[in-house]
Amino acid sequence: MTESSTDENFTVRHVHPAPRDLVFECLTTPDHLTHFWGPTGTHTPVENIVVDLRPGGAFETTMVNDRSGDRYTMRAVYVDVDAPRFVSWREIDSGVLSEVTFVDLGDGTTEVVTTQRGLPPQLRTPEARAGWGTALSRAAAYIAAIAAGEAGS
């Protein structure tokens, strides 16, 4: 996983050992998102995930802190959906635009480029970026496990 950033933007690239259709499905389907959405120390029950995968559709998650039980809700609206190539959403409260590009590398792997644009100061901190990084690492481990299971079927 590689990262780059400016003050208001943050980009992460990761190559997943899985075909693009599977990676896109894992990153846009509640039954998959529930397994990894959120940083280490949180979980997101499937009933706390809304995905209406179309421009103008809702994308909502409520993460639960494993220790305290505190809840963190993210509400967004999909801006663009071009399955399985691209998806973007804008968070309602912060205005952050998240853009995810899925690149089929032609060898059964997929590069995912995730960029967040317009980050407010509280989401530019090293702690916030580290938390986001753990969420992406959890997603990578889950996708690799799913891909390995499918390969063995």
Nearest Cα residue to 112 out of 146, 84, 132, 147:
84
The pLDDT value given to residue 150: 66
Q: Residue 45, SS3?
A: coil
Query: 130: domain range?
Result: 2-151
CA distances from 92 to 10, 13, 75 (A): 18, 25, 6
Paired residues of 12 in beta bridges: 3, 114
The pLDDT value given to residue 5: 52
CB 101 within 8 A of CB 112: yes
The pLDDT value given to residue 112: 96
The pLDDT value given to residue 8: 87
CATH number of the domain where residue 45 is located: 3.30.530.20
The pLDDT value given to residue 153: 42
Question: For the chain, which residues score pLDDT lower than 50?
Answer: 3-4, 151-153
The pLDDT value given to residue 129: 76
In the chain, the number of structural domains is 1
